[in-house]
Amino acid sequence: MDDLEIPHHFICPISLQIMKDPVTVATGITYDRDSIQRWQSHGQNNACPVTNQPLPIQTDFTPNHNLRRLIQSWHASDQVSTKQSSFQTKVIAGNLIKKLNLPDLKLTSLKSLENLASESEANRVCLKEVGVVRAMISSLVSCYQDCATAGLKETLNVLYLVRFTRDDTRTILSKHDRIISSLTWVLNLDHDACDDTNTNMKSHAIVLLKDIMHNAKSLVFERLNRDFFNTIVHVLRHRETNNLERGINSIKDLLHVMLTTCTWPRNCSMMVDSGAVFELVELELGSPEKGITELVMGVLVHLCSSADGRAQLLGHAAGIAMITKRIAKVSQKVDERALMIVSLISRFSETDRVLKEMMRVGTVEKLCMVLQVNGLNSYPREKAREILKRHSNVWKDSPCLDVTLLTRYPS
């Protein structure tokens, strides 16, 4: 109905919406009953909204039966028109999908499907119903297997527009075991190119990977390989800077992929080996927005659960300082994750150098602050107290450390 021109006399002059119960008042103007009653319910509104002539206060108006029948008839014809339009779209889309098997017609058919998907949500629903997701996945995998990029932009754009449901994802993964490899291949294409087409394709591939990982079962996570994580970290390292909004969205989607997959120890190890910890610290040093910081800290908690992950964080000159700076600055979620990282480092990597570094960059000061300002039984307070108590003998000379605070609220 949004694409049809609505007859102006179907519109209520007050609500500017199509009338449901048109009634005519004494001045001869027709309004929707509910609108004119609400208008008159305000004592000062005793004039006709259109003519400004006085109106008698009345509870019974003259129904405009002819106009009501016209509106009902128009609604009915619109519904028929919509059904006919949906049927036609499905027929067109079905024929275009069949033509994808004809090499000479494949590219033009993909462009036509892309145009259909771009036009409206109604078209995208029709496309999904005739199997466009399966067709586009086959097209994507075919591009990957043939190392061909003709039609790749259109294929990814259609997939990006129609997206995956949970059921779509599981059906796709059961029939196309190369879909993740295909999307990884897209991310590896022509790293030196900076044109919008190349960047859009990669952005769409990242979104599709995020959707797949969000809806996938554990078996998918078990099959991820080192090349996958090398690519993810490479994209993070060479993140887009030309388009700020698109760059931020792509980083968030990439971090969602990392956070979903790093819950498996094997994946966590491969991510660390790919240099993920270093790149996450570098990303945070750029002072990103709250959503990115929360995701970064979420990934780092998992990566710092391993000795190699902690070593990589400590190997970065600004690693501990960056974590410290985020405490009590962003959100409670960041506080909890940052304190967990500090706890892991102070418990399993507590060399003299590391503990002195924590004093130097202000970690001890931040822990003391958390201990004093957070709620009595809050997780941040208890975690800060635990860390300070564990190393109070080393940090006892810190001017901000009041040892009595460590026993004031015993567990």
DSSP-assigned states of every residue in 35-60? HHHHHHHSTT--B-TTT--B----S-
- Which residues are bridge partners to 63 per DSSP? 23
| Residue tagged 């460590």 (tokens) | 406
**Mean pLDDT, the chain, whole residue set:** 86
pLDDT digit string, tens, across residues 50-78 = 888 888 766 678 899 988 888 888 777 66
Q: In what order do the strands lie in the sheet with 30-32?
A: 30-32, 22-24, 62-63
DSSP-assigned states of every residue in 75-102? HHHHHHHHHHHHHHHHHHHHHHHHHTTS
The secondary structure element, H or E, covering residue 32 is strand 30-32
Is the model's pLDDT at 1 over the cut of 50?
no
Q: How many CB atoms lie within 10 A of CB 224?
A: 19
Is the model's pLDDT at 405 over the cut of 60?
no
Q: What angle do CA 276, 280, 285 make, to 5 degrees?
A: 150
pLDDT > 90 fraction of the chain, expressed in percent and rounded: 51
Q: What is the largest CA-CA distance in the chain?
A: 91
Cβ–Cβ under 8 Å, residues 197 and 212: no
Mean pLDDT of 152-175: 86
Q: What is the pLDDT of residue 342?
A: 95
**Phi and psi, residue 100, nearest 5°:** -65, -20
Q: What is the pLDDT of residue 411?
A: 44
Is the model's pLDDT at 80 over the cut of 60?
no
Nearest to 11 by CA among 32, 29, 42: 32
Q: Tell me which of 125 and 1 has the higher pLDDT.
A: 125
**AA letter at 204:** H
Mean pLDDT of 348-363: 91
Cβ–Cβ under 8 Å, residues 322 and 277: no
Q: Tell me which of 7 and 287 has the higher pLDDT.
A: 7
Q: How many CB atoms lie within 10 A of CB 361?
A: 18
Poorest-confidence range of 29-38, 95-104, 186-195, 342-351?
186-195
Is the model's pLDDT at 320 over the cut of 80?
yes
Q: Tell me which of 30 and 397 has the higher pLDDT.
A: 30
Q: Tell me which of 30 and 378 has the higher pLDDT.
A: 30
CA gap 232, 188 in Å, rounded: 9
Q: What is the pLDDT of residue 288?
A: 79
Poorest-confidence range of 81-85, 109-113, 206-210?
81-85
Mean pLDDT of 370-385: 78
Q: What is the pLDDT of residue 401?
A: 65
CA gap 343, 323 in Å, rounded: 11
CA gap 377, 359 in Å, rounded: 25
SS3 (DSSP) at 11 = strand
Q: Tell me which of 248 and 58 has the higher pLDDT.
A: 248
Nearest to 189 by CA among 223, 151, 235, 226: 235
Nearest to 22 by CA among 36, 8, 5: 36
Q: What angle do CA 220, 283, 214 make, to 5 degrees?
A: 25
Q: 45 is written with which tokens? A: 């509104």
Distance from chain centroid for Cα 189: 24
pLDDT digit string, tens, across residues 189-198 = 874 445 778 8
Mean pLDDT of 277-291: 91
Q: What is the pLDDT of residue 2?
A: 44
Q: Tell me which of 40 and 147 has the higher pLDDT.
A: 147
pLDDT digit string, tens, across residues 230-246 = 999 999 998 866 555 66
Q: What is the pLDDT of residue 410?
A: 46
Cβ–Cβ under 8 Å, residues 22 and 2: no
Mean pLDDT of 77-94: 73
Q: What is the pLDDT of residue 254?
A: 95
